Amino acid sequence: MPRRLRFLPILTLLVALLALSGVVAHRLALQFGLAELQTTGLHRLELYAASLEREIGKYAFLPGTLGLERDVLALLGPQGDHQLAPQVNTYLEQLNERAGTLAIYVIDTTGRVVAASNWRRADSFVGENLAFRPYFREAMESGSGRFFGVGTTRGEPGYYLASTLSDERQTLGVAVIKVSLEQLEKSWTTVEAPAMVSDENGVVILGSVADWKFTTLRPLDEATRSAFDQTQQYNRRALTPLGIKELRELGHGARLVSIAKERPEMASVYPVAGRFLAQSRPLPGTPWTLTVLSHLEQVDDIAQSRAAVAVVVAALLFMFALMANERRRHLKDRLAAREALQQAHDELERKVDARTADLSNANQQLQDEVAERIRAERTLRAAQDELVQAGKLAVIGQLSTGIAHELNQPLAALRTLSGNGMRFLERGDIETTRANLQRIAQLVDRMGLITGQLRTFARKSSGQRQPVPLAQALDNSLALLEPRLRQNNVEVRRDCPAPGPVALCDPNRLEQVLINLIGNALDAMEGQPAPCLELGCAVAGDQARLTVRDHGPGLDEAALGHLFEPFFTTKQAGAGLGLGLAISAGIVGDFGGTLSGANHPDGGAVFTLDIPLCDEVADHE
Ligand code: ADP
């Protein structure tokens, strides 16, 4: 998904969230603001009503007090003493001045003004008939009357407070005090919000905003208007509507209203147009209603600023949430990576453990195998030793005929010599007897030599390596083969100049190899008229070399291929086992040397034996 599209849902969500929080905050702030405004308004309403009542109360008792004036009562009496009129007029004038009221006057029961504070003025009430005025009628009916109205004479709006005056027997007339509205409004000079008093007709009669006076809060029908004409209540004032419109009822006499900005801008300390919270209550003792208007501008401002703050806070929270989410994801990734790493580590450790176990198994197997190999080698070596010994005994067997023949001759000679010796002794021929005995001793020595050599050869060798002069080994071997060589008339050519090379090996086994090689050579030349055996010893590099060459038929193809294989033989059954060369090669191999067989260019086979030179001897040389 393209990056732009990926962020689209988040962006939409953000916008929705911001709008929602803005709206909610605005609503709440408005509600709180309104509630607060309502409390303040209610407070003001009570305060303004109380001060207004106090102001009216100040004058309420004034008309009644006129009944205490005897002159007034006398003037009104059935035989009205008209001479008292100037006196009462002056009294009323003075009282009016002192009380600060607009006018004070007394009316007789017919409605005619008999005395008035304004008696001096041309437009004085004196003589006027005010029987049509509601306050008069009201007072005549109930004892007191109150009325708001515009004066018929001077067109001055005022509050009329009327009270009947009577003696012990009858009602004599009505005393009236007219209080200016300004006087009542005095109590409102310090109000903080626009307030107004509307009469029973919905006409504003008192207001902290001058321009609102004589405006109507509700439309007037024709009948009402004509009634006004009759009572001259508003003295033909225009009575234009204020232009107040109710928006919403809020309960507890509170309403949301708006005042249109139709009228020309006027100087006022309060806002006079816009939305207001209007709270009203009736004024006790009057049919009037006091209304306090609290402008909503401030609440609106606060609500708007709270909404703005809420939007900013929501945006911040959203950003924090995004960051937290990002961080959580990052942490999750890290945890996953760590877990993967741990798993890989565990897996590796498991593998290493398995491999180690395999290795130790393999190691164990290897050790077992080595031990097995060593055991096998020992067994092999034992078998080889046995084989060597067997081979040696076989050689002895082959040699035995010759040796027996060799021993027979001296034995026969001994017999003859000893027989002759006795005869010579009987004859007293001491000299001949001594010579015979010497000969016997020589023969015995020779026989001892032969049997000694045989015994030496036959004994089981120690396997210990030692310096062996090749010439000596050759001598010993030839000594053992001596009877056969002589029997076959073999010519032995020795090319072994003294002192000759010294090899490091087991002499007994070297002799066994030489006897084998020479024996094979003699076998190969069997039946030849002049067999010739060539033996050589030399030094080749760091090896002592022995060569045995015969002049027989040489080695054929098959023999060259299988010469050193056990049981390879071309000899007749009983004549050979085919083990001689195999054993010899094994012995030479043990010495650290080599044995090879080949055909000599001039005919016959030649076997070459290379054995390591003895260093000591070599050094000595
Ligand atoms: P064996 O003598 O019992 O046959 P060897 O291992 O000594 O066993 O010899 C194996 C064979 O090698 C002989 O049978 C023979 O065929 C051949 N051989 C050994 N030496 C010679 C030699 N000098 N000339 C010809 N053939 C030989």
CATH of the domain at 152: 3.30.450.20
Buried-exposed string 402-426: b where 16+ CB fall within 10 A, e elsewhere: bbeebbeebeeebeebeeebeebee
* Shortest-distance atom of ligand 1 to CA 579: 6
12: in domain: no
13: in domain: no
Nearest alpha-carbon partner for 509 in 604, 368, 391:
391
Q: What is the mean pLDDT of residues 597-601?
A: 96
Instruction: Locate 612 and state its tokens.
Output: 């390591």
In this structure, the dihedral spanned by the alpha carbons of residues 349, 352, 358 and 359, taken in order and rounded to 10 degrees, is -140
Instruction: Locate 509 and state its tokens.
Output: 């086994």
Mean pLDDT over the full length of the chain: 85
Nearest alpha-carbon partner for 132 in 120, 115, 149, 154:
149
Whether residue 506 is found in the same domain as residue 606: yes
Whether residue 484 is found in the same domain as residue 525: yes
Q: What is the mean pLDDT of residues 287-303?
A: 85
In this prediction, residue 4 carries a pLDDT of 59
Whether residue 485 is found in the same domain as residue 608: yes
Q: Find the 481 Cα to ligand 1 centroid distance in Å.
A: 17
Q: What is the mean pLDDT of residues 464-468?
A: 90
Whether residue 598 is found in the same domain as residue 525: yes
Cis, bond preceding 499 (omega within 30 deg of 0): yes
Rounded CA separation 34/271 (Å): 17
In this predicted structure, the answer to whether residue 1 has a pLDDT above a threshold of 60 is: no
In this prediction, residue 508 carries a pLDDT of 87
Check pocket membership of 570 for ligand 1, CB cut-off 6 A. yes
Domain that holds residue 235: 32-57+183-295
In this prediction, residue 169 carries a pLDDT of 81
Q: What is the mean pLDDT of residues 61-67?
A: 86
Phi-psi region of 489 (alpha: psi -120 to 50; beta: other; left: phi over 0): left
Exposure of 517 by Cβ count < 10 A (0-12 exposed, 13-18 middle, 19+ buried)?
buried
In this predicted structure, the answer to whether residue 60 has a pLDDT above a threshold of 80 is: yes
In this prediction, residue 604 carries a pLDDT of 95
Cross-strand partners of 476: none
Per-residue pLDDT of 498-520, as tens digits, reads 778 999 999 988 998 999 999 99
More confident residue, 360 or 79: 360
Whether residue 43 is found in the same domain as residue 191: yes
Per-residue pLDDT of 66-102, as tens digits, reads 888 888 888 888 777 778 888 889 999 999 998 888 8
In this predicted structure, the answer to whether residue 620 has a pLDDT above a threshold of 60 is: no
Whether residue 471 is found in the same domain as residue 606: yes
Per-residue pLDDT of 189-238, as tens digits, reads 666 778 888 888 888 888 877 778 888 888 888 887 777 777 777 776 77
Q: Find the 123 Cα to ligand 1 centroid distance in Å.
A: 184
- Residue whose CA is at the smallest distance from ligand 1 atom 11: 569
What type of residue is 60?
A
Number of domains in the chain: 4
> In sequence order, what DSSP letters do the residues of 539-602 get, joined into one string?
EETTEEEEEEE--SS---HHHHHHTTSTT---SPTTT--S-HHHHHHHHHHHHT-EEEEEE-TT
- Residue whose CA is at the smallest distance from ligand 1 atom 19: 520
150: in domain: yes
**Among positive and negative, which fits the CA dihedral 471, 477, 483, 485?**
negative
- Confidence band for 269, pLDDT divided at 50, 70 and 90: low
> In sequence order, what DSSP letters do the residues of 396-411 get, joined into one string?
HHHHHHHHHHHHHHHH
In this prediction, residue 383 carries a pLDDT of 77
Residue 276, classed as helix, strand or coil, is: strand
Instruction: Locate 407 and state its tokens.
Output: 């021993």
In this prediction, residue 156 carries a pLDDT of 75
In this predicted structure, the answer to whether residue 264 has a pLDDT above a threshold of 60 is: no
Q: What is the mean pLDDT of residues 591-614?
A: 94
Q: Which range has the worst mean pLDDT, 100-109, 313-322, 377-386, 389-398?
A: 389-398
Check pocket membership of 605 for ligand 1, CB cut-off 6 A. yes
- Residue whose CA is at the smallest distance from ligand 1 atom 3: 576
Domain stop point among 140, 157, 180:
180
Per-residue pLDDT of 110-128, as tens digits, reads 989 999 998 888 888 888 8
Tell me which range, 231-245, 276-290, 328-342, 570-584, is most confidently predicted by mean pLDDT. 328-342
275: in domain: yes
Instruction: Locate 223 and state its tokens.
Output: 């009948």
3: in domain: no
Exposure of 319 by Cβ count < 10 A (0-12 exposed, 13-18 middle, 19+ buried)?
exposed
- Residue whose CA is at the smallest distance from ligand 1 atom 17: 559
Q: Find the 136 Cα to ligand 1 centroid distance in Å.
A: 178
Whether residue 486 is found in the same domain as residue 443: no
- Residue whose CA is at the smallest distance from ligand 1 atom 2: 576
218: in domain: yes
Q: What is the pTM of this model?
A: 0.46
Q: What is the mean pLDDT of residues 424-437?
A: 88
In this prediction, residue 328 carries a pLDDT of 94
Domain stop point among 130, 164, 180:
180
* Shortest-distance atom of ligand 1 to CA 548: 23
CATH of the domain at 489: 3.30.565.10
Of the residues 569, 584, 599, which should be mutated to test ligand 1's pocket, given the most ligand atoms within 8 Å of the CB? Answer: 569
Neighbouring CB atoms inside 10 A of 93's CB total 18
Q: Find the 550 Cα to ligand 1 centroid distance in Å.
A: 12
- Confidence band for 54, pLDDT divided at 50, 70 and 90: confident
In this prediction, residue 189 carries a pLDDT of 65
What are the E-state strand segments in 127-285? 144-150, 157-166, 171-180, 195-198, 204-207, 215-216, 240-241, 244-251, 254-259, 274-282
Check pocket membership of 279 for ligand 1, CB cut-off 6 A. no
Whether residue 52 is found in the same domain as residue 199: yes
Check pocket membership of 74 for ligand 1, CB cut-off 6 A. no
Instruction: Locate 72 and state its tokens.
Output: 């007034």
Whether residue 491 is found in the same domain as residue 446: no
In this predicted structure, the answer to whether residue 486 has a pLDDT above a threshold of 70 is: yes
Check pocket membership of 564 for ligand 1, CB cut-off 6 A. no
Whether residue 340 is found in the same domain as residue 445: yes
CB-side neighbour CA atoms (13 Å) of 82:
3
Backbone angles phi, psi at 220, to 5 degrees: -105, 135
* Shortest-distance atom of ligand 1 to CA 516: 7
Check pocket membership of 571 for ligand 1, CB cut-off 6 A. yes
Rounded CA separation 434/319 (Å): 140
Whether residue 176 is found in the same domain as residue 187: no
Residues 6+ apart with CB under 8 A from 78: 170
309: in domain: no
Per-residue pLDDT of 244-253, as tens digits, reads 888 888 877 7
6: in domain: no
Cross-strand partners of 158: 149, 180
In this predicted structure, the answer to whether residue 350 has a pLDDT above a threshold of 70 is: yes
Whether residue 563 is found in the same domain as residue 511: yes
In this prediction, residue 450 carries a pLDDT of 75
> In sequence order, what DSSP letters do the residues of 64-131 get, joined into one string?
HHGGG-HHHHHHHSTT--GGGHHHHHHHHHHHHHHHT-SEEEEEETTSBEEEETTTTSTT--TT-B-T
In this prediction, residue 254 carries a pLDDT of 86
More confident residue, 345 or 229: 345
Domain stop point among 398, 431, 457:
457
